[in-house]
Amino acid sequence: MMFRTERNRVRSFLVAGAFMLASGAALLPVTPASAQTQARVLPDFTDLVDQVGPSVVNIRTVEKVAERDGSGEMDEEMQEFFRRFFGQPLPNIPRQGPRPNRPQAPQEEARPRGVGSGFILTPDGFVMTNAHVVDGASEVLVTLVDKREFKAKIVGADKRTDVAVVKIDATNLPAVKVGDISKLRVGEWVMAIGSPFGLENTVTAGIVSAKQRDTGDYLPFIQTDVAINPGNSGGPLINMRGEVVGINSQIYSRSGGFMGISFSIPIDEAIRVSDQLRSNGRVSRGRIGVQIDQVTKDVAESLGLGKAQGALVRGVEAGSPGEKAGIEPGDIITRFDGKAIEKPSDLPRLVGNTKPGTKSTVTVFRRGNSRDLSVVIAEIEPDKPTRTSEREEQPAKPSASAAAKSLGLAVSDLTEAQKKELKLKGGVKIESATDAATRAGLREGDIVLAINNSEVANAKEFESALVKADKNKPVSVLFRRGEWAQYALIRPSR
C-alpha cells in the first residue's frame, strides 16, 4: 500500500512538472546580467594583449651570400646549354666593363633568411629569443609594435637550450614581467604572441598540457596546446597575470604545421642562461664525464635497488672528474649534491647547472650498497669520439661449463695486454653467445665485469658466481661493449 502511495506521489510530481514546462513557468529567462556572469567565467585575454603586446617584437634575419659575376658574359657551360637545346649559340651580350686580368674579391648579396619573434627583457634594449632564430644570421633586424626598426647585435646564443639574447640601441622600452614557473599549473590558461608565417602581433591561446616534459638534455619543457607555427619561435608564453612563463620553441608535427602540441622553454631556465650570455657571451656548464642510461625495473630488482630510479653509468671518460672521483661503469647514480636522481635526464641538468670548479657529492649504488663520492666539476667540452679496440690477441681457451652453457655463454680470461688497453683490472671476454645470452642482448666480444653484483676477475670467478646464482631467478650481468658498460638479465634455458 505504501509503495502504491509513493508511486502516485511521483506521478503527480511529474505531471506538475510537465505542466510547468508547457506553460513556460519553469524556464529561466536569459538576462543580460546572467550572460555577463557566464562571460566572466571564460578567460578574457584583451587586457593581457594590451599589457604585454608592446613588449613583443618581430625579428627578421638576413644572411650574406656570394653574388654571381656581374660581367654580363655567360660561362662556357651556359653557352653549351644554348647550343644543345636551341641549335644556335647565344647572341653576344655586351659586357659591363673590361674583364680584369686578376681575380676580383667576391661580392656579397644580402638575402632574407627567416622570421621569428622575441620579447623585451630589459628597458635598455636586451631582447630574448631562440638561438635557432638568429643562428647563421649576418644581420638581425628587430621591429617594435610601434613600427620602429633597429639593427640588433647578437649578445650570445646557446644552442643546447635554444636561448639567445640580442641588443638594440634603445631606452625606456616596455619590458616583460617574469613569472614564477613553480606556480604554473597543468590546465592553466596561457597565451602566446608572435609572428607566425610573418603575420606580426598574432595572439593565440590554450592551456598548459604538461610540465617537465623531457625532450632535451638540459631542459624540461612546458607542453601546451597553444597554436604555435613557424615564426612564433622566440615569442613569449604568458599566464593570466600577464607574466612570461616560457619561450615558445618547438612543435610536434607530422606536416610541418601546428597539430595541437607545442613546447616552451621554462622562463627560469631561460633567465639563468640569459644572465650568463649577457655577462660572458657564452654559457659555462659543469660536467663529470660519464655516459649514462636508464635503469629498468628488472635491473633495479635484480640489483636490490628497490625501484627503477637513478642513472646507470655505462662508461666513464678517461681522466674525467668522474674517473678521478672513483665512479665506475655499472654504478647507479642516485643523488647529486643531496638531490634525488629519479630519471637519467635529471643528472645532466643538475651537473650542467653547477659552476665548474665546485666540489660536489655524488651518491652511487654499487654491489648492493650506497656510497658517497666527492667529485670536482669540470667545464663541459665537445664530446670525444668513442674509442674501439682494434688489436686482437689470441684468447685463452674458452670456458664452457654446465652453468655457462645454461646461459648460452663461453668465456675466456683477458690477457694482460687487453686489460691494460681496456683499463680494466679484471673481467672475462665472451667468446660465443647463444640461446639465453643472445636473447638478453649479449654477443661475442663483450666483456663481463660482474655476475649478480659480484665482480669477476677471471673465468674461475665467473664460474663460481654462476654456481652461487639462484637457478630460479634471472642472472644479472654487468658487461662492457666498447667504451660503455650496461646490464643484461639472462633467463637460463630450462
Distance separating alpha carbons of residues 92 and 304, to the nearest angstrom = 85
Q: Where is mean pLDDT largest: 222-231, 389-398, 466-475?
A: 222-231
**CATH code where residue 242 lies:** 2.40.10.10
**129 contacts 166 by C-beta, under 8 angstroms:** yes
- Note whether 265 and 294 are same-domain residues: no
Beta bridge partners of 120: 127
Q: What's the half-sphere exposure (Cβ side, CA atoms, 13 Å) at 406?
A: 16
Distance separating alpha carbons of residues 386 and 393, to the nearest angstrom = 21
- The total number of structural domains in the chain stands at 3
**In this predicted structure, what is the pLDDT of residue 216?**
56
Question: Is the residue at 486 inside a domain?
Answer: yes
Q: How confident is the model at residue 470 (pLDDT cuts 50, 70, 90)?
A: confident
Q: Which of 55, 117, 158, 162 is catalytic?
A: 162
Question: Is the residue at 472 inside a domain?
Answer: yes
For 19-42, what is each residue's pLDDT tens digit?
Answer: 444 444 444 455 555 555 555 567
**In three state form, how does the secondary structure of the chain look?**
CHHHHHHHHHHHHHHHHHHHHHHCCCCCCCCHHHHHHHHHHCCCCHHHHHHHHHHEEEEEEEEEEECCCCCCCCCHHHHHHHHHHHCCCCCCCCCCCCCCCCCCCCCEEEEEEEEEEEEECCCCCEEEECHHHHCCCCEEEEECCCCCEEEEEEEEEECCCCEEEEECCCCCCCCCEECCHHHCCCCCEEEEEECHHHCCCEEEEEEEEEEEEECCCCCEEEEECCCCCCCCCCCEEEECCCEEEEEEEEECCCCCCCCCCEEEEEHHHHHHHHHHHHHHCCCCCEECCEEEEECCHHHHHHHCCCCCCCEEEEEECCCCHHHHHCCCCCCEEEEECCEECCCCCHHHHHHHCCCCCCEEEEEEEECCEEEEEEEECEECCCCCCCCCCCCCCCCCCCECCHHHHHHCEEEEECCHHHHHHHCCCCCEEEEEECHHHHHCCCCCCCEEEEECCEECCCHHHHHHHHHHCCCCCCEEEEEEECCEEEEEEECCCC
User: Would the pLDDT of 157 be above 80?
Assistant: yes
- Note whether 356 and 414 are same-domain residues: no
User: Would the pLDDT of 317 be above 50?
Assistant: yes
Distance separating alpha carbons of residues 45 and 204, to the nearest angstrom = 10
**In this predicted structure, what is the pLDDT of residue 388?**
33
**CATH code where residue 464 lies:** 2.30.42.10
Beta bridge partners of 450: 455, 478
pTM above 0.75, yes or no: no
Residue at which a domain ends, from 347, 379, 411:
379
Q: How confident is the model at residue 199 (pLDDT cuts 50, 70, 90)?
A: confident
Question: Is the residue at 369 inside a domain?
Answer: yes
- Note whether 362 and 427 are same-domain residues: no
The residues, any chain, with a CB within 8 Å of residue 268's CB and separated by 6 or more, are: 181
- Note whether 273 and 297 are same-domain residues: no
Q: Which of 124, 132, 135, 432 is catalytic?
A: 132
Question: Is the residue at 76 inside a domain?
Answer: no
- Note whether 253 and 308 are same-domain residues: no
Question: Is the residue at 96 inside a domain?
Answer: no
Give yes or no: 233 in active site.
yes
**214 contacts 343 by C-beta, under 8 angstroms:** yes
* Domain assignment of residue 375, given as a range: 286-379
> Phi and psi at residue 353, in whole multiples of 5°?
-85, 0
User: Would the pLDDT of 164 be above 70?
Assistant: yes
Distance separating alpha carbons of residues 2 and 121, to the nearest angstrom = 76
Question: Is the residue at 298 inside a domain?
Answer: yes
Q: How confident is the model at residue 2 (pLDDT cuts 50, 70, 90)?
A: very low
- Note whether 259 and 294 are same-domain residues: no
Residue at which a domain ends, from 247, 280, 313:
280
Written as nine digits, the cell of 87 is 641549335
**In this predicted structure, what is the pLDDT of residue 188?**
94
Question: Is the residue at 4 inside a domain?
Answer: no
User: Would the pLDDT of 225 be above 50?
Assistant: yes
- Note whether 199 and 273 are same-domain residues: yes
Written as nine digits, the cell of 435 is 640461446
With 0-12 CB in 10 A as exposed, 13-18 as middle and 19+ as buried, what is 179? buried
For residue 84, CA distances in Å to 72, 73, 87, 93 come to: 21, 18, 6, 19
- Note whether 259 and 222 are same-domain residues: yes
**In this predicted structure, what is the pLDDT of residue 345?**
84
Distance separating alpha carbons of residues 266 and 232, to the nearest angstrom = 16
Specify the higher pLDDT residue, 90 or 320.
320
CB-CB neighbours of 70 under 10 Å: 11
Residue at which a domain ends, from 246, 280, 314:
280
Question: Is the residue at 475 inside a domain?
Answer: yes
For residue 482, CA distances in Å to 12, 386, 440, 486 come to: 85, 8, 18, 11
Distance separating alpha carbons of residues 239 and 206, to the nearest angstrom = 10
